[in-house]
Amino acid sequence: MKKQLFNSLLIILTSSSAFAQWTPLNSGNTTNRYESAYFFDANNGILSSSSNVIKTSNAGATWTPVTVGGIRDIDFINSTTGYAAGVVSNSLKKTTNSGTSWTALTPINSSSLWGVSAIDANNVYICGVSGIVWKTTNGGANWTAVNLGISTLLVDIDFANSTTGCILDQTGKVYRTTNGGTNWTNTYTTTGVLFTSMHFVDANTGFAVGSNGTIIKTTNGGVNWTALTSGSTAYLQYVHFLDANNGIAAGFGGTIIRTTNGGASWTTETSGTTEDLYSCILLSSTVAIAAGNNGTVIKNSNLSTNIESATIQNVSIITYPNPFTDNFICKIEGNLNDKNIFLELYTIEGKEIAITPISKNETTIKTEDLAPGTYIYSVKEKGIVLQSGKLLKRK
């Protein structure tokens, strides 16, 4: 049985729905690319870029710029002391006043640094181009090379304690050490993927993301990794987890995906921007901030906490063709009743434009009245999101 979206339309709304409540924040500039995010608590946090950092004390409502160049990644050991890895000639810095001012550390050389992991008052690790890995055991006064013996770009690093940690190789590899970098073991390798970001929730549970919507997970401290199904093909740039269940990842084209079940399933958020996003953070299970190109900073204070997906419910949902012209088809297979299933359609800005009932098997969605452009769809059963994603209508 086939139904048509605009011929059997139930509701047309002119306001934003609860499905998409990402709103822009005023970062104070329109050129910076914010590549890292760190929050001390729900209100106080920092976003870093190669031009400066900006600080907030009111959960992003307002931001104060800090003049410091070259910062790409930041990490703190407490609410005052932190370290920064950055670009050429500005590659290594430390703050003792919550990021209000930064002091250059040695060695400062021509190498570009990409990742930093601050463990405690004494132990910090950093990584970067040409396989560089440095560590300090005295709070940054001196640094020692603990290189992997490779020449590729090491994009991120995360240590559980002073001796055990993992490094993310951009070329699709993960390396692990248990003796402070004296020896390294390659614990994961993939091909055709460029890794970008890694985050450990605790000593055992960690995630890494990259191109083609790639997400991998470990539950034993990086000894073994499993590829997850993200439902996205975007170039993911950053991943953050609040706890073992609640996580978020952001990437190119305004992509934001989120999980509430430890990565077993992911739902695409309607971010309201097409700017490339390079950082994101969950401040709670219902509040998140993402940031990226051209000074973009967005926030959602009403995230759904009951995400369920077709992956969990053993349901297959396919929308095709994509891109489409006059219409597209939504095909549903699996263990669902043929009732209370709806397809919701949104503009890229998150404005809901239609809700229509759909059936199992195939439903043809006619879209002659839609202008060419990018749209967001969400398939729900009894209000629970089964799947969502982007659709492109061509002329």
Residue 110 above 60 pLDDT?
Answer: yes
Facing residues of 290 across strands?
280, 298
The strand order across the sheet containing 315-320 reads 315-320, 327-334, 361-366
> What rounded mean pLDDT belongs to the chain?
87
Token pair listed for 43? 């209100």
Confidence tier at 5 by pLDDT (50, 70, 90): very low
With a pLDDT cut of 90, the percent of the chain lying above it is 61
Domains of the chain: 24-300 (2.130.10.10), 315-393 (2.60.40.10)
Quick one: pLDDT at residue 305? 63
- Of 301 and 6, the structure prediction assigns the larger pLDDT to 301
| pLDDT digit string, tens, across residues 233-250 | 999 999 999 999 999 999
In what order do the strands lie in the sheet containing 64-66? 36-39, 45-48, 53-56, 64-66
Question: Long-range contacts: 8-15, Cβ < 8 Å, 24+?
Answer: 8/356, 8/357, 9/354, 9/355, 9/356, 10/355, 10/356, 10/357, 11/354, 11/355, 12/353, 12/354, 13/351, 13/352, 13/353, 14/351, 15/351, 15/352
The mean pLDDT of 109-117, rounded to a whole number, is 86
Does residue 308 surpass a pLDDT of 70? Answer: no
Tens digit of each residue's pLDDT (9 = 90 or more) over 336-352: 776 778 888 887 666 77
Give pLDDT, residue 6: 27
The reported pLDDT for the residue numbered 377 is: 84
